[in-house]
Structure 1
């Protein structure tokens, strides 16, 4: 006899009560807001809290929110359903499928082994080589969780164990702890550097557009290039100094990588095709704005090539549950966030906050908003939920306070990734890498707190100056 699914009904309590309190507080709403705008706010807040407490998977929470939004007539069904046609969200889904090609063909693993063989003399060099692989894969892997958990983590674990570093034997500090934490931070940085490297980035792109700011793949990449490269160079070294591995030299790493490559054999035809398709997609993303090929269309082209050549099957696409799950809940959250803006709630909120910051230099306002965005992430277990909840409002406040619109949109977009340097539940890769047992929670939080300050300094100072030099603002 089939049993019912396990549903955590108690976790419905906080979002439900919060939503009801706000809904019935409608008579107390600010005079500038319509009843519909306030109801949309109540539903949105309840949904975001539901995404945090997760009585059901986030996709199911989003479906419930969609149903309630249309059932209460807050948004007409025909208008609400258009959220599923958002191009930025389909870009995420398509890039999920492309990343499946890296995993299925083994190309991602092969690239990692080649890097280890080339830079594997010392443990610090290993960390840089592994992060280099993450950097190469990032533009075509919008799931930083798939990149860190599906490709990088198994390789790091195997490498650490090959050198006798295993938390089960209390030898995690030999090498594994350092490599695991360095990969986590490297993944955080690479996620910030490319529009297509983390699922929340196209969401930020979509929310920025509702504030009349058009973010493109190339301007995101160019703006994040210098602060990103500086972070990639400095952060692993800082970790190496404050959390040093016991094994400093790794002369056997090359031999280990050679053995792994021999097991894989020669480069296969699927790997060669995957390489060509990846290069084509990367080139189109880079020059797309000049030849008028949309980034989402580029992703569709890449998937089409993978299907036509047989690298992926349609079953592979159907079984890529992460893509379909993301497509569902992102669509709902984007629809709700867009409605908040269209109904006037976000403009009202931004003007209210901006008035309290009036008289301040616009750069000070930007710093205050970024710091607020960063440290409020301690309250979130999902980067995307956090971006959905705060990005649009903070961007509107920044623009109202005189911060150059493109600078504000990009800086908040970057920190929609960098705020992962907070907790062990801050983003998808965090629980996977932390759950490996190589890094204790106290160490994770302490080092994240230090590196969080490093990111704030580098990206707000160097990043702002660099964006001025290249004409972003």
Structure 2
């Protein structure tokens, strides 16, 4: 453990905890937030492995439950057992379906590698468009766009479908994870893939599960029924320019050393000839993944996406395309399960302690005297940036969308359709802001192609760019259309 990196998170947590709680916030909620702030600081500095940080976070919080998780009133209730309740809270994340959907995505990635199908698909992409780094980036983005209207889980799409394929491309250019060659092209192509997916998640209503939740809240609270075409044409003016710009913007901040390699397309064709026809295991994997995609598209009301992923893993194990020893020995899978599960619990704790509600209520008092337009800009900014307190787009939407929407509707002369669309468009974009912002982000963060500092730099920068595009292009267009 690096002492110089361990001290700042401890100092942040203790420093905040020693301050008096803000007015209206219970002491335990403030203490929990202090721990949460310390955890976020630790995730940035990484004095330990990120999974270890997550385990320490929930363990310390559970041990200090009487001062972090529960109010004095809860502690005084007859029959209330703080130790039992704290343990139940600590393990909630491991029962979250998103955690296991992400785990399934990692196992898919392993299967693509073990069977050789990932390499084959990567070689096909490289043969078609790999002579230029920019065209390869657009090919990857277009693949995501093609899947998005029919895949209502950005985690299933970005982590379960795109990541296993895209992660096989860099080694073709001698760009290996966790090595000095990671920046040759790996960092670039993986960041373009994930950043594009966040924008695509905002472009189509059906591209991200929380979009449906946001639409439902908007219909119930604002009496605005957003249709599929209305959603698309609302997002297109800012989303399409962003999708065009992302490969170039990434080129500036995560510049690849490999920019042109015309000979690689010839080499890719030679490698495909050496591989020969699809093997039995490749065909099994291709059929299984196709089934998963179809189930994710059409089976949402019948079966949970995480169960679909696990069902496919079961088929792969039963047919021999993948074996348990490979899964058990795949450290990134288990690290991600632990990290995401602990972050889900920590984010749940913010809501449980009342911090999220206090945060939203605190906003109301600062909006008096401002115009409706100013309030929309302020609420969208607050809604977007508050995602640093969440590890799930769904939990953020569930916790804050009704509150933020209600706050905005209370403002006189508020154009409710513009407010509704502005908040709805924010949902997918928020997934860019941190490595824990969405279940889909973790495979990219843990890919080995980014240092923690690089990922956070990209996340903050692109988060600001995405927010600026929504504020300066999206909202003015909504208002010009008379929303």
Asked if structure 1 preserves the Cα contact closer than 8 Å seen for 2:356 and 2:399, the reply is yes
Distance in 2 (alpha carbons) for counterparts of 1:77 and 1:406: 40
Distance in 2 (alpha carbons) for counterparts of 1:42 and 1:237: 38
In structure 2, the residue matched to 1:38 is 30
Asked if structure 2 preserves the Cα contact closer than 8 Å seen for 1:334 and 1:388, the reply is no
Distance in 2 (alpha carbons) for counterparts of 1:279 and 1:330: 26
In structure 1, the residue matched to 2:285 is 274
Match of 2:43 among 44, 51, 57: 51
Match of 2:168 among 139, 151, 159: 151
Match of 1:193 among 185, 188, 200: 200
In structure 1, the residue matched to 2:353 is 343
1:180-219 correspondence to structure 2 within 5 Å = 181=188, 184-193=191-200
In structure 1, the residue matched to 2:58 is 66
Change (3 A) 1:301 1:321: same
In structure 1, the residue matched to 2:339 is 329
Deviation at 1:398, TM superposition (A): 3.1
Deviation at 1:147, TM superposition (A): 5.2
CA RMSD of aligned residues (A): 5.1
Match of 1:105 among 104, 115, 128: 115
Asked if structure 1 preserves the Cα contact closer than 8 Å seen for 2:156 and 2:305, the reply is no
Match of 2:2 among 8, 12, 26: 8
In structure 2, the residue matched to 1:414 is 429
In structure 1, the residue matched to 2:12 is 18
Change (3 A) 1:384 1:265: farther
Change (3 A) 1:101 1:361: farther
Change (3 A) 1:241 1:135: same
1:176-226 C-alpha deviation (Å, 9 max, x unpaired): 97996466334321255359xxxxx99x89x999x9999xxxx9xx86995
Answer yes or no: is 1:265 the counterpart of 2:257: no
Deviation at 1:44, TM superposition (A): 1.5
Answer yes or no: is 1:318 the counterpart of 2:328: yes
Match of 2:99 among 78, 89, 111: 89
Which structure 2 segments of 5+ residues have no match?
70-85, 148-154, 203-207, 221-227, 410-418, 436-440
Normalization by structure 1: what TM-score? 0.68
Change (3 A) 1:103 1:11: same
1:283-318 C-alpha deviation (Å, 9 max, x unpaired): 1111233x4322222222222222222221111221
Distance in 2 (alpha carbons) for counterparts of 1:230 and 1:120: 23
Q: Secondary structure of the equivalent of 1:151?
A: coil
In structure 1, the residue matched to 2:76 is none
1:29-72 C-alpha deviation (Å, 9 max, x unpaired): 23422222222222222222222222211111111111211111
Change (3 A) 1:307 1:242: closer
The alignment of Structure 1 onto Structure 2 pairs a total of residues equal to: 416
Asked if structure 2 preserves the Cα contact closer than 8 Å seen for 1:184 and 1:429, the reply is no
